[in-house]
Structure 1
Amino acid sequence: MTGITRAVAHCGPVSLDALTAEAELLTRVDRKYLMRIDGARAVLCAVDDRTRVLEQHGARDFAYESVYFDTADRLSYHLAARSRRRRFKLRSRTYVGAGVSFLEMKTRGGRGVTVKERIAYDPGHRRRLTEAGRAYSAEAFAGIGLDPALVDGLDAALTTRYRRTTLLAPDGSRATIDTALVWIDADGRTLELPDWVIVESKSAGPPSALDRALWRSGMRPAGISKFGTGTAALHPELSGNKWARLLRGPFATATESAAPGSATSVTAARPHLPAPRPTKDLS
């Protein structure tokens, strides 16, 4: 049992089917917080006893892997860094323990909501776009006013790995707590933040009870993007002004490992930088 799962041990379980039925929230408002793990535990210990925790086969935290696709000139990254209205994130999401993958397109809807569409995907192809993946991506690009031909230049650019605990609150909102945070770029360089967690609330709009508890503890939404901030941290030559505070703060303490076979060894700190249903879901 991890420190996070111990913090919510007073909460009852919820099954994946019940969680999906009650609060799938593919169209939602996300608020993200990057915080020390001890601070997260303190807040979670006090959540409403009626909160339920996703549990499968007795486990309450699960391994995830996401592979993000981008063009050679990093179009997806630059659109995110500049907060463009038509920005997108295309990724495969794998639920490691279940051996289930999806190909997901995340875009921004009206009033800052996140819209996520996804199709079932072969886990064996999660690091590449199959013909079906290319067709899905091209259609998604056309739907947000981008050139479908962009799909021809997409390749795996960043991999993230972490463990996730998911909460279902009495008000129907959800929250996820991600630990053991790891980023790996296309060259195999690795960045880790072992002492930090990402807490993300997901609601239909208004702040959740967890948001208010985090605010009372002194936390405010950090605007962290696993894809954007991780890319900026691993590639300091890119403009990362949108995430400058995080790059100078938590990410400045991250540990970095060189790609296998590189002459560069592990760096103690960066001195200058900081299993759902296999169907298509569309909101």
Structure 2
Amino acid sequence: MQLPFNQSIQLKDIEGVKLMNRVDTKYWFHNSKLHEILEDASQYYYILEIENKQVLSYSTTYFDTNEDSMYRAHHNGHLNRYKIRQRTYIDSDISFIEIKHKTNKGRTIKNRISTTGKQLTFNEKEQHFLNDNCPFVIQDLQPAIRNSFQRITLVGKNFDERCTIDINLEFEWECSNTALADLAIVEIKTDGPPVNSKLSQILKNRNIKKSGFSKYCIGRTLSDKHLKHNAFKPNIRRLRKALNIYN
């Protein structure tokens, strides 16, 4: 994919805009709209480039309990909910165990430690990290679903905003493999509500409205028909309509 950005930025340059405690605002739409949106955004943002690549590959394994506690907490609209995952940044060849905590104030707090990414069990260091940062019994955690996608990362030229655009999303679990190849997911990460976000305004001008999208929960819903998913049905219907998926 040829991207319309003239100014790139390196990983070392975005240390100050990691925004590990932040407000997330999400949008999603058919990726046929993406190139024009990126063209509009190019004057306001730097694009992250690693090893001469601007579209970067990610692989993620999510963990949950036998009772699907994290999935159910999100489905039932609970605040103070968690996601636990092992994420590999393929182009950087680094992996992390990550905990995302959505607080009752609507903020997202992310904690992480490096890992080898070679196993799906937790070593002693990782167990201590999980015990210190989440309320679950570590022995109850097990892999629940895998996904892969490609990501474009934009950084506001004032270094007060980071935006990710995820494409080519695929879910894999047991015998199920689901691809959402025509989907683009935008997440705007800011310290507060994105009132000054240029990308938010660009999306609004194109009549693209903010809409929650959990890759974990949507992936579980599409991969396991036995899971309770009433709360996600409207999003699934909109998703199928937007992407022309009829099966």
Q: Tell me the TM-score normalised to structure 2 length.
A: 0.92
> 1:122-271 to 2 correspondence within 5 Å?
122-125=116-119, 127-141=120-134, 146=135, 148=136, 150-171=137-158, 172-185=160-173, 187-207=174-194, 208-251=197-240, 271=247
Q: Distance in 2 between matches of 1:32 and 1:203?
A: 12
Q: List per-residue Cα deviations over 1:135-169 (Å, max 9, x = no partner).
A: 2212212xxxx3x5x21111111111001110011
By how many angstroms is 1:108 displaced?
1.5
Checking the alignment, whether the CA contact within 8 Å between 1:93 and 1:103 is kept in structure 2 is: yes
Counterpart residue type for residue 180 of structure 2: L
User: In angstroms, what is the RMSD of aligned CA positions?
Assistant: 1.9
Checking the alignment, whether the CA contact within 8 Å between 1:233 and 1:251 is kept in structure 2 is: no
By how many angstroms is 1:249 displaced?
2.7
Q: 1:83 to 1:15 in 2, by over 3 A?
A: same
Q: List per-residue Cα deviations over 1:219-252 (Å, max 9, x = no partner).
A: 1112000001111121222222332222113247
By how many angstroms is 1:197 displaced?
1.1
> 1:14-33 to 2 correspondence within 5 Å?
14-21=9-16, 23-33=17-27
In structure 2, the residue corresponding to 1:211 is in which secondary structure?
Answer: helix
Q: Distance in 1 between matches of 2:242 and 2:37?
A: 23
Q: Distance in 1 between matches of 2:219 and 2:179?
A: 10
Checking the alignment, whether the CA contact within 8 Å between 1:105 and 1:140 is kept in structure 2 is: yes
Q: Distance in 2 between matches of 1:42 and 1:245?
A: 27
Give 1:58's aligned residue.
52
Q: Distance in 2 between matches of 1:191 and 1:232?
A: 11
Runs of at least 5 residues in structure 2 that lack an aligned partner in the other structure = none
In structure 2, the residue corresponding to 1:124 is in which secondary structure?
Answer: coil
Checking the alignment, whether the CA contact within 8 Å between 2:81 and 2:101 is kept in structure 1 is: yes
Checking the alignment, whether the CA contact within 8 Å between 1:62 and 1:97 is kept in structure 2 is: yes
Q: Distance in 2 between matches of 1:132 and 1:114?
A: 24
Runs of at least 5 residues in structure 1 that lack an aligned partner in the other structure = 256-268, 272-283
Deviation beyond 6 Å, 4+ runs, structure 1: 252-255
Checking the alignment, whether the CA contact within 8 Å between 1:94 and 1:100 is kept in structure 2 is: yes
Checking the alignment, whether the CA contact within 8 Å between 1:92 and 1:102 is kept in structure 2 is: yes
Counterpart residue type for residue 163 of structure 2: A
In structure 1, the residue corresponding to 2:105 is in which secondary structure?
Answer: helix
Q: 1:254 to 1:50 in 2, by over 3 A?
A: closer
In structure 1, the residue corresponding to 2:60 is in which secondary structure?
Answer: strand
Percent same amino acid among aligned pairs?
A: 25
Q: Tell me the TM-score normalised to structure 1 length.
A: 0.81
Checking the alignment, whether the CA contact within 8 Å between 2:23 and 2:108 is kept in structure 1 is: yes
Give 1:39's aligned residue.
33
Checking the alignment, whether the CA contact within 8 Å between 1:232 and 1:240 is kept in structure 2 is: yes
Q: 1:86 to 1:50 in 2, by over 3 A?
A: closer
Counterpart residue type for residue 243 of structure 1: F
Q: Distance in 1 between matches of 2:171 and 2:111?
A: 23
By how many angstroms is 1:49 displaced?
1.4
By how many angstroms is 1:114 displaced?
0.4
Moved more, 174-183 or 203-212: 203-212
Checking the alignment, whether the CA contact within 8 Å between 1:99 and 1:123 is kept in structure 2 is: no
Checking the alignment, whether the CA contact within 8 Å between 2:80 and 2:104 is kept in structure 1 is: no
Q: Distance in 1 between matches of 2:202 and 2:128?
A: 43
Checking the alignment, whether the CA contact within 8 Å between 1:164 and 1:177 is kept in structure 2 is: yes
Checking the alignment, whether the CA contact within 8 Å between 1:224 and 1:243 is kept in structure 2 is: no
Checking the alignment, whether the CA contact within 8 Å between 1:76 and 1:88 is kept in structure 2 is: yes
